[in-house]
Amino acid sequence: MSRSSGRVTLKDLAAQTGYTVNTVSRALKNKPDIAPQTCRAIQQVARRMGYVPNRMASALRQGRSGTLALIVGNLVNPFFGAMVTEVENAARAQDLSVLVLSSRDNERDERRAVTTAVERQADGVLLCPSQRTREPLRMLEEARMPFVLMARDFPDEACDSVGCDEAAAGFLAARHLIEAGHRRIAVLYDYEFVHGILSRVQGCCQAVREAGLPDCLPLVARDAASAADGLTRLMRRGVTGCVAYCDLAALSTLSELESRGVRMPDDLAMVGFDNLQASLNLATPLCSVAVDVRAQAQAAVGLLLGRVRGEEGPAQKQLFPTRVVCRGSCALHRGAITTGAWE
């Protein structure tokens, strides 16, 4: 055993088995030029001695680390947890590891995360950008690090991205409330610097206009208390339905409203985004706009690996369809849940 590190090395296995280092290395990888019984014997010794492959050394030889970096926003939001899970599953299917980093949606931590991904020599980066600045994109380009944007995009940037048509998603959410009979609709949102959220708001307003209804009422709120304050005022102006920019905001706001005696959906109907209830056992049934996160993750990993392998061509912007999952918080079809191929 190596005295310097305590790690069992290929030399240690060679000394124990009587084979050359090259034979041991090939046997551990089940190479066809090594007899199956020899592979099994060497692998049994490796397990007994606690041998762990040195992936960094292998990466130096191959010029790749076998690791992808995934940079997401605030992990308090379960949506990002679902994204991490599906990216890890897609990467694991390609025998790759994932380095997960959080930007917490602020510039300093996002720059730090990008720097870490480059320093750790990740093969490529999957980035859900905070969109407060475009500096992370420039940093990755300067480092010649392949990257794909996930869930959030800069439409005017010539870079690969995987997401959904956010304006169409907002349109679906507002139309769901309209079809449930609501005629005065509010749109609750935060993170005005995120292009996708603003597109959702625009989509909501478009649905209201096309229905010939009074303009939807935008409400920017930083927390549940201020959101509840604003919606209480808007309810006095006739608002009966609200589209929230994400499920987490919708649920926290509804909890605050319920503590003030507001009943959902009798007093106020709500539709969110992200369909968290599909993966979490939530106490409050919530209508929500859903997108297939698994399909997005698989597409993003596949696109990134193509760039890592040197595939060239114009930037690809892949958009996945969205749909509304109705759980009754719209005040129509209470308890009904739509079904689909990726439920």
Distance CA 343, CA 333 (A): 18
Which residues are registered as beta bridge partners of 126? 70, 148
Distance CA 257, CA 63 (A): 55
pLDDT value of residue 156? 94
> Consecutive 10-residue runs of the chain (343 residues): their mean pLDDT?
62 93 90 93 91 65 81 92 96 94 95 95 96 95 96 95 97 97 96 92 97 96 96 96 96 96 94 93 91 97 96 96 95 50 41
Give the CA distances from residue 295 to residues 74, 237, 319, 343, in Å, rounded to whole numbers and listed in that order.
Answer: 22, 41, 11, 12
SS3 338: coil
The DSSP annotation for 22-86 comes to HHHHHHHTT-TTS-HHHHHHHHHHHHHHT----HHHHHHHHT--SEEEEEES-TTSHHHHHHHHH
Give the CA distances from residue 96 to residues 18, 162, 258, in Å, rounded to whole numbers and listed in that order.
Answer: 32, 20, 46
Model pTM?
A: 0.81
Distance CA 43, CA 46 (A): 5
Amino acid at 217: L
pLDDT value of residue 93? 94
Structure tokens at 67: 């690791």
Residue 242 CB neighbours (<10 A): 33
pLDDT value of residue 59? 56
pLDDT value of residue 1? 41
pLDDT value of residue 58? 58
